[in-house]
Chains A and B, each alone.
Chain A
Amino acid sequence: QKEVEQDPGPLSVPEGAIVSLNCTYSNSAFQYFMWYRQYSRKGPELLMYTYSSGNKEDGRFTAQVDKSSKYISLFIRDSQPSDSATYLCAMSASGGSYIPTFGRGTSLIVHP
């Protein structure tokens, strides 16, 4: 079993839909959870960063962590075609010196 599991998709939704992206993990030591967005042929960019359990909201994006279930989610409201990208979850056990473990990414396609 991989440390971080993420469905590669693709996930295709119409513009304006609410998107739910998810990852599960097996290492209970993970405390820091990140979501990255990667456009085709580009490097990943950090979208959201959360510590421990709970929700965090930033504009149209909401990150949710459920440590008891070892399950994290990224919700995108009012999805736009420009949101079409690969979304990678990442997590680590420690803070400042962390080396994150990445999921394989979910390909999202938002069609007009």
Chain B
Amino acid sequence: GAVVSQHPSRVICKSGTSVKIECRSLDFQATTMFWYRQFPKQSLMLMATSNEGSKATYEQGVEKDKFLINHASLTLSTLTVTSAHPEDSSFYICSARDQIGELFFGEGSRLTVL
């Protein structure tokens, strides 16, 4: 099956710094990628939908200036958590949709802000 690579898998940073997470579709072109946030024992919360070459569409309540999303190519989308604070600590997961509409998920990135 298709593979989506997410990097880094784990990151620890100091409060106030920015962190970038990459999501790559390795063997298919993904015109649409999604970014989710997941708290322990909770479901996936959709943060934004990212379309290649256009601005991301953010879900209600998600600060677009806080969570910068760039989808510059058909195989790469990035999520940057700007000026991270401890409450931003979470598990962030990306997914990419292939040409027939199937969703493939990355392995997730665990962010810990000290």
- Taken together as a complex, chains A and B put the C-alpha atoms of A97 and B31 apart, in Å, by 11
Judge if A8 is at the interface, Cβ distance under 8 Å: yes
0 or 1 for each of B90-101: is its CB under 8 Å from A? (1 = yes): 010101000011
Count class of interface residues, chain B: 20 to 34
* Inter-chain CB contacts under 8 Å: number: 45
Measured between beta carbons, the chain B residues less than 8 angstroms from A46 are: 102-104
> Is A43 in contact with B41, judged by CB distance below 8 angstroms?
no
In the bound complex, residues from chain B placing their C-beta under 8 Å from that of A95 are 101
State how many residues of chain A have any CB contact under 8 Å with chain B: 22
Please list the residues of chain B having a beta carbon within 8 angstroms of any beta carbon in chain A.
4, 6, 34, 41-44, 46, 49, 91, 93, 95, 100-108, 110
Of all A-B residue pairs in the complex, the 7 with the closest CB atoms, nearest first, are: A43-B105, A96-B101, A104-B43, A102-B43, A102-B44, A43-B108, A43-B107
Chain A interface residues (CB < 8 Å from chain B): 6, 8, 36, 41-46, 49, 88, 95-100, 102-105, 107
